[in-house]
């Protein structure tokens, strides 16, 4: 079994937890992004009867502060939690203070265990080396992509048939255009190295779910000002009506989930 939860999602902080049941009865636990304060994350782990020693590793998509909180490197070091990263992210990881002795490198593919394979794809986001993730655990597939200006075909191919899919649905282009933000910022957000629009997200989900529908699609990193669940709902009703029962929006500041393959729940 695999279980996914988000702890926070959006420009004020991102963190989520993937739990993988092993055949020996143990559980591997990975945090995808750690962009909230250690104190807050400690509290949200405690709500699940978990502590830092239960964590197997941390996988940041990139090293912006909303993905690796200012105080997180110290906490990760105190609890000896390794950070798993692409070799090309080493410099940025070092700059935010991740300890070199706790960095575990890969080149886009890594066996996390004998039962679990990680693959990453670089996605375009500002000047960062930003990664999207696909985790295959036994016969189940989990995919996560956030903070990307467009979705590379390599990710669509790898994520195809995912049982659980977490993907950015950052903004509604109309709300962004009328937000009153400066033009350079609008251009950055909507550009090819910015953030995924609701429409881009729908197109990606369509491509990923052609052969098999995910049991849950969790939308990440919604803009507080330039998005609205109604805009998303209208779009999905038009383009992905059969997936509406599987659609969920990650809450900005609260735990959302758990999501598991086969779990039935509906947002709308
Ligand atoms: Zn972000």
31-79 pLDDT tens trace: 999 999 999 999 999 999 999 999 999 999 999 999 999 999 999 999 9
pLDDT for res 59: 98
DSSP β-ladder status, 140-145 and 247-249: unpaired
In a 3-state reduction of DSSP, which class is residue 21?
strand
From the CA of 188, how far away is ligand 1's center (Å)?
A: 13
In a 3-state reduction of DSSP, which class is residue 16?
strand
pLDDT for res 266: 45
Angle of CA points 163, 230, 252, to nearest 5°: 65
| Tokens linked to 72 | 């997180």
pLDDT for res 199: 98
Helices (H), 178-265: 183-190, 198-208, 229-239
CA–CA dist 85, 88 (Å, integer): 8
Asked if the model's pLDDT at residue 263 lies above 80, the reply is: no
The answer to whether 155 and 54 have CB atoms below 8 angstroms apart is no
From the CA of 6, how far away is ligand 1's center (Å)?
A: 14
Residues 6+ apart with CB under 8 A from 84: 30, 57, 58, 59, 104, 106, 110, 112, 118
H/E segment holding residue 159? helix 153-159
Provide the mean pLDDT of the chain: 96
pLDDT for res 193: 92
Distances, alpha carbon 134 to alpha carbons 42, 43, 116, in Å: 26, 27, 10
265 confidence band (pLDDT: 50, 70, 90): very low
Residues 6+ apart with CB under 8 A from 208: 143, 156, 159, 160, 161, 162, 165, 214
- Round the CA-based radius of gyration of the chain to a whole number and report it: 17
From the CA of 221, how far away is ligand 1's center (Å)?
A: 7
From the CA of 213, how far away is ligand 1's center (Å)?
A: 27
H/E segment holding residue 112? strand 109-113
Residues 6+ apart with CB under 8 A from 92: 62, 63, 128, 129
From the CA of 22, how far away is ligand 1's center (Å)?
A: 31
Asked if the model's pLDDT at residue 200 lies above 90, the reply is: yes
Q: Return the CATH number of 2-259, one of 2.40.30.10, 3.60.15.10, 3.50.50.60, 3.40.50.720.
A: 3.60.15.10
Token pair 């779990």 in the structure block, residue:
263
Q: What is the mean pLDDT of residues 202-223?
A: 97
From the CA of 245, how far away is ligand 1's center (Å)?
A: 27
From the CA of 11, how far away is ligand 1's center (Å)?
A: 5
From the CA of 34, how far away is ligand 1's center (Å)?
A: 11
pLDDT for res 268: 45
CA–CA dist 175, 125 (Å, integer): 21
From the CA of 10, how far away is ligand 1's center (Å)?
A: 6
0.85 cut: is pTM over it?
Answer: yes
From the CA of 141, how far away is ligand 1's center (Å)?
A: 24
From the CA of 4, how far away is ligand 1's center (Å)?
A: 19
Angle of helix 229-239 relative to helix 198-208, nearest 10 degrees, comes to 40
Tens of pLDDT, residues 125-175? 988 899 999 999 999 999 999 999 999 999 999 999 999 999 999 999 999
Tens of pLDDT, residues 221-248? 999 999 999 999 999 999 999 999 999 9
pLDDT for res 190: 93
CA–CA dist 28, 57 (Å, integer): 9
Q: Which of 193, 198, 203, 206 is nearest to 173 (CA)?
A: 198
From the CA of 199, how far away is ligand 1's center (Å)?
A: 18
From the CA of 139, how far away is ligand 1's center (Å)?
A: 30
267 confidence band (pLDDT: 50, 70, 90): very low
């Amino acid at each position: 079994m695999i279980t996914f939860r988000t702890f926070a999602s959006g420009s004020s902080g991102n963190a989520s937890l993937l739990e993988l049941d092993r055949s020996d009865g143990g559980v591997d636990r990975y945090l995808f992004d750690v962009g909230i304060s250690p104190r807050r994350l400690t509290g949200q782990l405690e709500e699940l009867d978990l502590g830092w020693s239960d964590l197997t590793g941390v996988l940041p998509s990139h090293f912006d502060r909303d993905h690796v909180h200012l105080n997180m490197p110290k906490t990760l070091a105190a609890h000896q939690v390794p950070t798993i990263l692409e070799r090309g992210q080493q410099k940025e990881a070092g700059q935010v203070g991740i300890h070199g002795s706790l960095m575990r490198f890969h080149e886009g593919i890594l066996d996390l265990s004998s039962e679990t394979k990680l693959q990453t794809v670089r996605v375009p986001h500002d000047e960062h080396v930003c990664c999207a993730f696909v985790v295959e655990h036994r016969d189940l597939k989990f995919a996560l992509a956030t903070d990307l200006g467009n979705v590379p075909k390599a990710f669509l191919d790898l994520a195809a048939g995912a049982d659980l899919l977490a993907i950015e649905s950052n903004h509604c282009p109309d709300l962004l255009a009328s937000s009153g933000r400066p033009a350079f910022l609008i251009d950055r957000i909507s550009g090819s190295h910015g953030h995924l629009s609701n429409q881009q997200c729908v197109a990606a989900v369509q491509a990923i779910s052609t052969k098999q529908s995910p049991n849950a699609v969790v939308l990440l990193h919604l803009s507080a000002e330039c998005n609205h669940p109604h805009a998303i709902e209208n779009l999905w009703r038009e383009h992905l009506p059969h997936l509406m029962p599987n659609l969920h929006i990650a809450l900005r500041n609260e735990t959302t989930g758990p999501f598991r393959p086969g779990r039935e729940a509906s947002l709308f």
